[in-house]
Every structure is written in C-alpha cells, then in structure tokens.
Amino acid sequence: MTTDKSATSLDKTAAPADAPVGNPDAADGAATVVDPRLLIREQGFAGYITEFKRKISGGDLGSIPVVVGLAIIAIVFQSMNSEFLSAKNISDIATSMVATGMMAVGIIFVLLLGEIDLSVGSVSGVSGALVAVLSVTQGMNEWLAILVAVVSGAVMGAVHGFFFARIGAPAFAVTLAGLLFWLGFMLQLLGDSGTINLDGDGVVGKLTTYYFTDVAAAYGLAAVAVIGYFAAAFLDTRRREAAGIPSRPIADIAVRTGVLAVFAFAAAYMFNQYRGLPLALVLFLIVLVGTDFLLRRTAYGRKIFALGGSVEASRRAGINVTAIRISVFSIAGTFAAIGGLFWASKIAAANQGSGTGDLLMNVIAAAVIGGTSLFGGRGRTWNALLGVMVIVSIQYGLSLEGIATPIQYMVTGAVLLATVVIDSVTRKTQKTAGRA
C-alpha cells in the first residue's frame, strides 16, 4: 500500500464540499481527523509532532497525564527519600499493587458501560473468607477452595447484573445493597473469632510471597514482553497493508519496541537486585494481556464499547444488551474475588476488616486515574496498571516520610479529583472538536 492510495481512500470518505452543515460554527472549529500512520509515513519525526498537537487540541490526552504524574511522583519522593527508587521499595510496590489492580481490572469493564459497582470490596472479603473457612476450618483441598471462591465471585457479580439489566434497578443502588449484604455474609462466615489464619506456605499464602530468584526469570519475562509486542505490532502492520489501509511503518514500531525494552529490562534489573521476580506481578501481567485482548480483539469486547457509547444504538444493532451487562458485572465479581485472594495472601489471614476501609475507593480511583472514563466507552485494562501504580507509589512515598494516614487519604482524593476534572474537560474538548 502506498501513501498516495491511502490518502486517496481517505479523500473519498470525506463529505462533498457542498454538503449541508448542521452546525457551521462547530464545523469550523473541528479538528481534521487524520490517521497518524499517514502523518508518520509522510512527515517522519515531524509527523509525531503534528499528531501530538492534533491530539492535544482535540482533547485526546490518552495516558499522557498519568505517565507525567508517575514521573513527577518518582522525582518528588526520590528527592525526599533516596530509598523510594530502591530495589526493595520498587519490589514491594509491585507486589502490593496487584490485589487492588486485579479488582480495578474488573471495575474497568463496568466503567466501560458507564456504570459503577460498589460491591467489589465486600465480594473480595467474601472470597478470602470462603477460602479460609473451606481450606482451614473444613479441610477442603486448597485449590478446590480457591475455585469455589472465584466462581462464587462470578455468581455474586451476575446477581448484581441480573437486578440491574433484567429488573431495571440502578446499578448504584443494586451494588450498594450488595456491598452491605456480602459484608454481612463475610462476617457470618468468619464467625465469632473474626479471624482465620492461612498457611503461609499454601497456594494463597505464596501468591504474594513467592519470587522467582533466578535472574533469568526477570530478564526472560522482559524479553518475552518486548518480542511479543514487536511481533504483534509487526503482524498487525502486515495485515493492514494487505487490506490496503494505513499502517505504522517499521521504524515507528522499532522505536516503540525500544522504549518498551528500556523500561522492561530496567524493571527486571531492579527486581533482581532484591529478591527476584514477584509471582504476583507475573500473574497480574498475564491478566492484563488476556483482558486487553478480550476487549480490543474480540466481538464481545467491541459490544462492551458499543454499549458504553449508546445503549439504544447497540440494541438496534442486534446486541443482546441484557446478556452483555450481566456478563460484565459477573466479570467484575470474578476479579473482585481474585483480588480478595491476593489481599488474604498479603495479610496471611481472612478477617473482619477484609474488603473494607479505603479499598473500594482505591479500586475505583485506580481505574479512573489510569485513564478509564467515568462516562463509559473509553478505557483499557492497562489503565489499571498505571492507576494502581500512582496510588500505591503515593502511599509508599508518604509512608517513607512518616506522613499520617489522613494525609494519604487527602492526597489520593486530590489526585482522583484532578483526574475526574481532566476527564470532564477532555470530553468537552472532544465534543468541541467534533470527535466525541
């Protein structure tokens, strides 16, 4: 495919010059949508600059705010305490963020519909309690107990989805009721003692305590990530070229792969300076890759985005709105249960405080801060990684300085508010530019 043919195909899709314009003022101020791949092919490095300016003017900020935020957090806390970017602290952050991150992945599915799930904290607590009761108190095989807990999370989520999608009750009210009901159910399961300790050497116990100590593990994962990204991008480019549509040049893919390689191998180096590659992080990355593929490369994922854009349009297009909604809440319950297992592993117990406190706030904040829109239709599961990195990094940075928990809440709340404001302003800018 040549640039001339691509440009010609784009021109053919443009409206005729004499076509009526419903809102001339909006049309005059609208940004011209140009495929970035064409800009890069035609202008080289200047194409990146042109595309960046177009995105900024059109309100398409992507992950720029959170990446800049992470850089600022690292610089500020490292200047305050040299231990912030130490191998131990980075490893601790990577392990601690997985529980919240897993739950944030499920919340992202719900947010893509433009809805909310307030029950995930309680569902995670029930998951931990079920594993503790079944495996410790009842003597059930631990793997089977884990399966029961995860399936139970999926069923709890499906129940919420049923009342929302089939009965028509607001998701906010349904999941708020779920928060209270499942919290009471968790307390009932734990009984009078309120705490059941887990075997630190068991399956759940090792979720956050096991490390791949061989240096080849961390470097091997980094290599797999880099090669996998390049292969996926290269194959996508070949498919696009074969279909005669704009595609990224190889040079662009090479640059992106190089940047990923720098960060991946730097992280691997830091992990190997402490205890090695955390199992928890490996599992989290596998989940992110799998769910990202589900959302972006399958018909099911496209239906979720369609629902987030317009329910009525999706219904008229033949999408089973009820089934998709129920399945999405079931997915949220599943990942809440998985997150609950990681929380139980972190404290080596299931207790009455599981799933309570600021957990729900942090889960939702991680999804939103990472770049998922509260208005639905925009987001990726990788946003969970970025968002939870921001939250946990702030918590660890403030803890290193001995700053009290109330201040940590205030700082996290301020960051969340700033993110929501940016999201709202972005939507308004996109509407003005004719891109919403």
pLDDT at residue 208, rounded to an integer? 93
Q: So what's the pLDDT on residue 303?
A: 94
pLDDT category at 40 given cuts 50, 70, 90 is low
State the pLDDT confidence band at 279, using cuts at 50, 70 and 90.
very high
- At 432 the pLDDT is 62
> pLDDT digit string (tens) for 402-411?
887 788 778 8
More confident residue, 63 or 178: 178
Average pLDDT over residues 191-197: 85
One-letter amino acid of 327: S
* 48 vs 33, higher pLDDT: 48
Q: List, in sequence order, every residue forming a beta bridge with 212; answer none if it has no partner.
A: 277
* Per-residue model confidence (pLDDT) at position 407: 82
Q: pTM for the whole thing?
A: 0.84
pLDDT band for 423, please (50, 70, 90 cuts). Answer: low
Identify the CA nearest to 281 among candidates 337, 217, 362.
217
Q: What is the model's pLDDT at position 111? A: 95
The owner of tokens 């021109």 is: 11
Share of the chain above pLDDT 90, in %: 55
92 vs 83: CA distance, rounded Å = 12
pLDDT of res. 104 = 95
Spatial separation of the C-alpha atoms in residues 123 and 106, rounded to whole Å: 12
Name the residue with higher pLDDT: 386 or 193. 386
Mean pLDDT of 97-116: 95
Structure tokens given for 17? 């010059």
Q: Average pLDDT in the 355-365 region?
A: 87
Lowest-pLDDT range, 248-262, 323-337, 421-435?
Answer: 421-435
Q: Is the dihedral of CA 383, 384, 389, 395 positive or negative?
A: positive
pLDDT for res 30: 46
Number of H helices, E strands in the chain: 19, 4
Question: What pLDDT sits at residue 48?
Answer: 63
Whether 277 shows a pLDDT value over 60: the answer reads yes
Percent above pLDDT 70 for the chain: 83
Q: What confidence tier does 43 reach under pLDDT thresholds 50, 70, 90? A: low
- On the question of pLDDT at 22 being above 50, the answer is no
Q: Are 43 and 74 spatial neighbours (Cβ–Cβ below 8 Å)? A: no
Least confident of 32-46, 108-122, 167-181, 391-405: 32-46
pLDDT band at 44 (very low <50, low <70, confident <90, very high): low
Reading the block at residue 288, the tokens are: 């992110």
Average pLDDT, the chain: 85
Residue-wise DSSP of 378-423? ---THHHHHHHHHHHHHHHHHHHTT--HHHHHHHHHHHHHHHHHHH
For 9-19, what is each residue's pLDDT tens digit?
Answer: 434 344 444 44
